[in-house]
Amino acid sequence: MTLFDEAPSPVNGIRVGIGGWTFAPWRDNFYPKGLVQRRELEYASRKLTAIEINGTYYGTQKPATYAKWAAETPEGFVFSAKAPMRIMQSRQLQKTGPQIEDFLGGIASLGSRLGPIVWQFDAGQRLQRDSFAAFLDLLPKQIDGRTLRHVLDVRDREFVDADYLALARQHGMATVFTDSPDYPSFADITADFVYARLMRSRSDVTTGYAGDELDGWTKRTHAWADGEQPADLPYLAKERAPQCKRDVFVFFISAAKERNPAAAMALIERLGTK
């Protein structure tokens, strides 16, 4: 038994969360007063249905650490994780196979808690089509008998076009929908799941997003899960993906970070009262 037995269940294949679980301001408006830091993940995983691990972008963890994180979270909860930047920043992407294998072999210790893997290519990084395509060929579809879900987050605006979408679809990989003016923002669906990063929370709004904005995201998220493509979002191509039910991952990231847990919990509540 734990102090935090109540945990939300994913609704209609939808999981909602935040980036990370260690952030000092959350100790004033999210975590209970006096909660020791070592139990913050345990608490957060019982208020949210997913967490995007950002720390793996800067360095991998030991398999035992991943297993420990998994053990602290309830059934049905998942982590997404950003792959190490040393892989994506390689000048020879087509030769990063051993690094990919090493990272995925370790994080596989999350077991049933392992969700999508995010491959983030930062703005200013000039990608070559051939090497990028060869890189995608290196990403395995399974590890330890478990299906892997890959997410591409390419921030070079010149690279993000119809050919990029076609390549992602060919490999069955999702592309990030980024609700932000700072990065390419498009909602074209390229996989059997949707991955959204909402980055417009505001400090002066208790729930990060105003109520009507959260209502809008509730409708869009349910539409994604039902296989629809919201008409009020931007798209790169006229072609639309086939309509079929999809799992959906929504993360409130960056912006007014102190408000993101409240935003995520507010969306989870709305999703459950469709």
Tens-digit pLDDT profile for residues 29-78 = 999 999 999 999 999 999 999 999 999 999 889 999 999 999 999 999 99
Strand pairing of 142-143 and 146-147? antiparallel
Classify 170 as helix, strand or coil: helix
In angstroms, the CA 270 to CA 274 distance is: 7
Tokens of 59: 């360095």
Percent of the residues in the chain that have a pLDDT greater than 90, as a whole number: 89
Q: Are 235 and 186 in contact (CB under 8 A)?
A: yes
130, exposed or middle or buried, with CB in 10 Å at 0-12, 13-18, 19+?
exposed
Which domains can be identified in the chain, with CATH numbers? 14-271 (3.20.20.410)
Identify the band that residue 1 occupies on the pLDDT scale cut at 50, 70 and 90. Answer: very low
In angstroms, the CA 42 to CA 244 distance is: 34
- Whether the pLDDT of residue 3 is over 60: the answer is no
- The pLDDT, as a whole number, for residue 5 is 57
Q: What pTM does this model have?
A: 0.95
- The pLDDT, as a whole number, for residue 90 is 95
In angstroms, the CA 84 to CA 107 distance is: 11
How large is the average pLDDT for residues 13-21?
97
- Whether the pLDDT of residue 102 is over 80: the answer is yes
State the average pLDDT for the chain: 94
Q: Which residues pair with 5 in a beta bridge?
A: none
Identify the band that residue 274 occupies on the pLDDT scale cut at 50, 70 and 90. Answer: low
Cα-Cα-Cα-Cα torsion 4, 252, 30, 38, nearest 10 degrees, comes to 60
Tens-digit pLDDT profile for residues 174-225 = 999 999 989 999 999 999 999 999 999 999 999 999 999 999 999 999 999 9
